[in-house]
Amino acid sequence: MLPFTRPTLTEQDEQAVLEVMRSGWITTGPKVLAFEQALADYLGGDVTVRAFNSATSALEAVLLATGIGPGDEVIVPAMSFTATANVVVRAGARPVFVDVDLDSRNTDADYVEAALTPRTRAVIPVHFAGLSVDMAPLRDLAEHHRLLLLEDAAQAIGTRHAGRHTGSSGNPTCFSFHPNKNITTIEGGAVATDDAALIRRLERIRFHGIERNTDGDMNVPLWGGKMNLPDMHAALGLSQLARLDAFNRKRRKLAERYLEQLPVHDALHPPEGGPGHSWHMFCVRVDYGALGTTRAAFQQALADRDIGSGVHYPAMHLFGLYRSHGYAPGDFPHAEAIGEQTLTLPLFPGMAVEDVDKVCVALEEVLND
Catalytic annotation, residues: 181
Cis peptide preceding 327, ω within 30 of 0: no
b/e string for 54-79 if b means 16 or more Cβ within 10 A?
A: bbbbbbbbbbbbbebeeebbbbbbbb
b/e string for 152-171 if b means 16 or more Cβ within 10 A?
A: bbbbbbbbbbeebbbbbbbb
What torsion do the CA atoms of 114, 118, 121, 126 make, to the nearest 10 degrees?
-10
* CA proximity to 162, closest of 190, 129, 137: 137
At residue 25, φ and ψ (nearest 5 deg) are -125, 100
- Give the Å distances, CA to CA, from 214 to 217, 218, 219: 7, 10, 12
DSSP 130: G
Q: Are strands 160-161 and 94-98 parallel, antiparallel or unpaired?
A: unpaired
Q: What is the rounded radius of gyration, in angstroms, for the C-alpha atoms of the chain?
A: 21
